[in-house]
Amino acid sequence: MAEHHSSYVPKTGFERWLDARLPIVRLMHDSAVSYPVPRNLNYFWTFGGILMFMLVSQIVTGIVLVMHYTPHVDHAFQSVEHIMRDVNYGWLMRYMHANGASMFFIAVYIHIFRGMYYGSYKAPREVLWILGVVIFLLMMATAFLGYVLPWGQMSFWGATVITNLFSAIPVVGETIVVWLWGGYSVDNPTLNRFFSLHYLLPFMIFGVVILHVWALHHVGQNNPSGVEVKNYKKDTVPFTPYATVKDLFAMVCFMIFFAWFVFYHPNFLGHADNYIPADPLKTPAHIVPEWYFLPFYGILRAIPDKLGGVVAMFASIAILAFLPWLDTSKVRSGKYRPWFKFAFWTFVVVSVLLGYTGSQPTDKVVLAIGGRTVMDMVGFAQILTAIYFAYFLVALPLLGLIEKPKALPASIADSVLGPAGSGHIAGAHAAPPKH
Amino acid sequence: MTTSSRFLLAAFALTGFAALAQPALAAGGAEQPPRQKWTFSGPFGTFDRAQLQRGFKVYREVCASCHGLEKLSFRNLSQPGGPGFTDGQVRTLATEYKVMDGPNEAGEMFERPARPSDRFPKPFPNPEAAKAANNGAVPPDFSVIAKARTYERGFPFYLFDIVTQYQEQGVDYITALLLGYEEPPKGVTVEAGLHWNRYFPGNKIAMGNPLVAVFDDAGKPHDAGFYTDGTPVTREQVARDVTAFLMWAAEPKMEERKQTGTKVMLWLILLAGLLYLTKKRIWSRLEGAH
């Protein structure tokens, strides 16, 4: 499929003049109006647009917050309260930004799991997928840095725990940690550099998002059947108005969900401890990261060895980038793979349970028989970690070889209309293919 | 939507939420505080002005000698959504406080009566002075204390809280704490300078029962006219009033937030409905569309 004809026709003299010099209107037209979209996409395909909205929302609210925030250990906490109390709609900006981070992750996890279920990472979408993993990593870094800025107890101690992970690196670990801190503990220099990087990274995310969308528009969208577009007229609809209106509807539904937290439950997703100003001399009873990091935190703590834990945690994210080559199945969509479905849902449940282990004290008893502890939280997390990695390293490579997939529809149109009804689509003409 | 995609949606929703964990306050031996009814809970909740005024009186006469309110200014007391004092009342009130100002033209610092724009003065000049006066413990500032305290709800209750909007863990805890002073159980020794509290994590709290400033051991108020608005002076009432005041102090824009929320929600739901109909209409041009 790939390249398709541009159907843009400049209407005015100015448009013709501009088109010959900088075809930007043509680019917009081709990627947001005439771009052919598989007609069988379900609502899970709206999360890309929702994520774009979240990114813009975070950047806009963030820029306003920076106008009133002071990155200094003596003033950061106070300046956040100043925003909440004295800045017009400051409470709205801050609650949108803080809850927006969680919404961003809810949307991105749905987006990632959708890609995994429908095999969106498979050829020819490997680079598209890897760019997505890069965005995910940048998001995690940005969220972590941002959580430090209010300089509450959880900010300070979260920063201490996470930066200390780098001390596990042999030989140079300690040096690296001192370099990250800009001193011998988490202090004002740390807060300042975290603030600087927290402002920088979203724009890097924006850059990679552009590459991500470019790659997407080059190879075309995957779809629930996993079958590639064969006939543009029958299998696709033009992005505008079909996808535009559907994406908008989904986006507004997501905003309702978002608004529920911002206006009615703004502190639900945060930690009460972060309303206590940072105190380097007082460690909170439980240092718990934000919910979106919990599965990875669970993996980190599952490995008794510090370096091993850090390696496992980073590996659990990095392994996503190798998905296109770990999955050996020729069938793209999980819809037609009965055994894969089982493995996938096991993986989802295991990821959630890993998050649960990450939120609990390590010595909490999970299973006791006759008063004797058989398994504590660490033991439980170890089993889950093993299953997590087995999904990538055992299930995906093997299933492709031994599984017998169900029959695929002949085309996208067939999957919607049935083999008999795949006639013409009245009034809908996506750009025809070049070849 | 197909059945499988509906299933997928439900599963994803679960994934997002089962992983949410509330902060775990050390629950060592402490009981879950009882649920209270608050006028400010729920999507349309508002503060009870009279209650905030009574709560402010309790704060001022009982708590303020040890606990600061440093993020609040006197002027906040007359702002919309708060205790509803008049500007005149606030001006008079402020003059009852002394604040440090300066330097003046002679280069010297001087004390003057507070103005509405001044913040509440701190009870201690520095943390060391606070420690020296309080057995080595610094009494926490009260500006955001109602949001800085909570108790663990546990799975699956925090999931229900998303729907019920129960978020008054902090104030329920503070009320319970104020009423939770009692004799330690038999066989438990409480070290000097500590006190037994049913609801405090670990049960041993440095702060003595603050309500003894208002009530005698039998629970009778020292001054039956403590409240001037006719509200009965009971331990529960006083505890609840000061807690409500602390909630307002921590979230002075709460009413504005919830009221804006109503408008935003109505607008978004209307927009979503219109977009849904538009989407239906546009997609109906396609053969076999659903």
State whether A421 and B288 contact (CB < 8 Å): yes
CA A302/CA A308 separation, integer angstroms: 9
Residue B288, in any domain of the structure: yes
Q: What is the structure's pLDDT at A175? A: 96
B26·A286 Cβ contact <8 A: yes
Q: Is residue B9 part of a domain?
A: no
Q: What is the pLDDT of residue B17?
A: 45
Query: Are A357 and A377 in contact, with CB atoms under 8 Å apart?
Result: yes
Q: How far is B112 from chain A (nearest CA, A)?
A: 24
Residues B197 and B290 in one domain: no
State the pLDDT confidence band at A430, using cuts at 50, 70 and 90: low
pLDDT at position B269, please?
A: 98
Asked if the model's pLDDT at residue A434 lies above 60, the reply is: no
Q: Could you tell me if B139 and B276 lie in one domain?
A: no
| Residue from A156, A268, A250, A134 nearest A201 by CA | A134
Q: Do B143 and B213 reside in the same domain of the chain?
A: yes
Half-sphere exposure of A205 (CA within 13 A, CB side): 24
A238 and A120 part of one domain: yes
Sequence-distant (≥ 6) Cβ neighbours of residue B37 within 8 angstroms:
none
B170 touches chain A (CB under 8 A): yes
pLDDT above 60 (res A264): yes
Same domain, B207 and B263: no
**Together in a domain, B179 and B212:** yes
Residue B220 and residue B159 in one domain: yes
Are the beta carbons of B282 and A276 separated by less than 8 Å? no
pLDDT digits (tens, 9 = 90+) for B46-103: 999 999 999 999 999 999 999 999 999 999 999 999 999 999 999 999 999 999 999 9
The CATH number for B132's domain is: 1.10.760.10
pTM of the model: 0.92
Phi, psi values for residue A94, rounded to 5°: -70, -45
What does the pLDDT read at residue B21? 38
The whole-angstrom separation of Cα B265 and Cα A257 is: 10
Same domain? B270 vs B285? yes
Name residues 172-231 of chain B within 8 A of A (Cβ).
201
Q: What is the DSSP letter of A195?
A: H
Q: What is the pLDDT of residue B155?
A: 82
B287/A424 touch (CB, cutoff 8 Å), yes or no: yes
- What range defines the domain where residue A173 resides? 32-287
Q: Are B115 and B94 in contact (CB under 8 A)?
A: yes
Interface test with B, best of A102, A245, A282, A299 (most B CBs within 10 A): A245
Specify the pLDDT at position B280.
Answer: 97
Judge whether A2 lies within some domain. no
* Residue B5 reports pLDDT greater than 60: no
Taking all residues of chain A, what is their mean pLDDT, rounded to a whole number?
A: 94
- Does B3 map to a domain? no
Cβ-contact B201, B27 below 8 angstroms: yes
Establish if A216 belongs to a structural domain. yes
Domain co-membership, B206 together with B244: yes
Cβ contacts (< 8 Å) between B169 and chain A: which residues? Answer: 272
Question: Which of B8, B19, B147 is nearest residue A275 as measured by Cβ atoms?
Answer: B147
> pLDDT tens digits for A291-328?
999 999 999 999 999 999 999 999 999 999 999 999 99
Residues A186 and A261 in one domain: yes
Do B45 and B166 belong to one domain?
Answer: yes
> Is there a contact between A358 and B21 if contact means CB atoms under 8 Å apart?
yes
Give the ipTM of the model, two decimals please.
0.91
Say yes or no: B147 and B268 in one domain. Answer: no
Q: Is there a single domain that holds both residue A272 and residue A314?
A: no
pLDDT tens digits, one per residue of A331-340: 999 999 999 9
CB contact under 8 A, A252 and B282: no
Number of Cβ pairs closer than 8 Å across A and B?
171
CA of A258 vs chain B CAs: smallest distance (Å): 10
The DSSP output letter for B226 is S
Report d(CA B20, CA B9) in Å as an integer: 18
Contacts of B116 (CB under 8 A, 6+ apart): B73, B74, B75, B78, B87, B90, B91, B94
| pLDDT given at position A351 | 98
CA atoms of A298 and B76, how far apart (whole Å): 44
What is the residue range of B290's domain? 253-290
Contact B253 A85 (CB under 8 A): yes
* H or E segment and range at residue A359: helix A338-359
How many angstroms separate the CA of residue A68 from the nearest CA in chain B?
16
For residue A411 the two structure tokens come to 């085309």
Does the pLDDT of residue B112 top 60, yes or no? yes
- Does any domain span residue B91? no
In a domain, B262, yes or no: yes
User: DSSP secondary structure string, A40-104?
Assistant: T--GGGGHHHHHHHHHHHHHHHHHHHHTT---STTTHHHHHHHHHHTSTTHHHHHHHHHHHHHHH
pLDDT value of position B3: 54
| Distance of alpha carbon B159 from alpha carbon B214, whole angstroms | 39
Cβ(A288)–Cβ(B24) below 8 Å: yes
Q: Does B250 touch chain A (CB under 8 A)?
A: yes
Query: Stretch A166-173: mean pLDDT, rounded?
Result: 94
A145, part of any domain: yes
Residue B53 included in any domain? yes
Q: What is the pLDDT of residue B26?
A: 38
In terms of domains, do B64 and B125 share one? Answer: yes
Number of domains observed in the structure of chain B = 2
Q: How many residues belong to chain A?
A: 435
Q: Tell me chain B's radius of gyration from C-alpha atoms.
A: 25
Backbone torsions φ then ψ of A215, nearest 5 degrees: -60, -40
A383 inside domain = yes
